[in-house]
Amino acid sequence: MSDLLELTARAEATHFWFHGFRGYVAPAIREIAAGRRDLQILDCVAARDVSGARAAMRQNIEQGRRSVEAAFKEALARAYREQRSGERLSTTPS
């Protein structure tokens, strides 16, 4: 099995198909992954960077908190607006 992996690694380093594949896939992955903190965590874990992974996780958690807080504020504001507009409609004379 290790011989097969070694041969594959050699082919990957020199074969045109692998170069073309990386040239096509790498930009697509960069575009998809842009700004995603969860992928930064995986990169740090793969690099065995414990402090970097910990920092990326903290940033991810804080970003999630901000997103949830903003969603709650927007939901409360929308509910308040709907309630206020309903009160005005119900108090208008028929």
Our separate counts of H helices and E strands in the chain read 4, 0
pLDDT for residue 16: 84
Per-residue pLDDT tens listing for the chain (94 residues): 788 888 888 888 888 888 888 888 888 888 888 877 678 888 888 899 999 999 999 998 998 999 999 999 999 999 999 988 876 655 555 5
Longest dimension (CA), the chain: 87
pLDDT for residue 92: 54
pLDDT for residue 91: 53
- Rounded CA gap, 52 and 43, in Å? 9
pLDDT for residue 35: 72
- Rounded CA gap, 7 and 27, in Å? 26
Q: Which residue has the tokens 């594959």?
A: 8
pLDDT for residue 93: 54
pLDDT for residue 80: 92
pLDDT for residue 88: 61
